[in-house]
Amino acid sequence: MIILNKEISFQHIKHNLEDFEKTIYSKSLEDTKILGIDIGKYISNGDILLLSGDLGAGKTELVRYIVEGSGNSSFVRSPTFVLINNYVDKSNITHCDFYRIDMNTEADELGIDEYYDNSTVIIEWPEKISHNLPKDVIIIKIHFTEIENERKFMLYSTGIKSKKFINKLK
């Protein structure tokens, strides 16, 4: 007899300094685009955004629209296999996807800390390196809802800079 494991539900990142700021609902891809463009308008070098959500939640789509909103015309593709993509244009954006790395890999092994000051760093699957992150980050937890195509974006700050950033968003 074969016993199949029960599906393990996704666990969002937990940061010991996280403070809940706001929830934004997206009923469609167009709503997600509006949110991403709004975020993109305010990003600057030194901002670190952590996108936490299960497979298919819309993390890479949100990144695509953040890049667009920043005025950067780079083509956004998921860095799942290369781990890190850099988009250099009007703004410098470092897009990381750590889905395929081992849990608790050291940030210095990945080299992302060298981007923290000179780029906006957006990290998908931050759960994999959660113990190696700066103190003041913007956390966006993306949840599926009971309604098809709807997503719940829960935004958290972990310091003064991230709190000010989130409060600028509509």
Q: Is residue 55 part of a domain?
A: yes
Q: Is residue 91 part of a domain?
A: yes
Q: Is residue 119 part of a domain?
A: yes
Across the chain, the runs of DSSP E, i.e. the strands, are: 19-26, 48-52, 84-88, 92-97, 120-124, 138-144, 151-157
- Contact, 139 vs 50, CB < 8 A? yes
**First CA to last CA distance, the chain:** 54
Q: Using one digit for the tens of pLDDT, what is the confidence trace for 53-83?
A: 999 999 999 999 999 999 998 889 887 778 8
Considering only residues 170 and 60, tell me which one the structure prediction assigns the higher pLDDT. 60
pLDDT band, residue 160 (cuts 50/70/90): very high
- Nearest Cα to Cα of residue 22 among 149, 160, 139: 139
Q: Is residue 14 part of a domain?
A: no
Q: Is residue 37 part of a domain?
A: yes
CA distance 60 to 157: 21
Backbone dihedral region for residue 56 (phi beyond 0: left; psi -120 to 50: alpha; all else: beta)? left
Quote the domain boundaries for residue 131: 19-168
* Gyration radius from the chain CA atoms: 16
CATH of the domain at 157: 3.40.50.300
Model pLDDT, residue 4 = 41
Q: Is residue 123 part of a domain?
A: yes
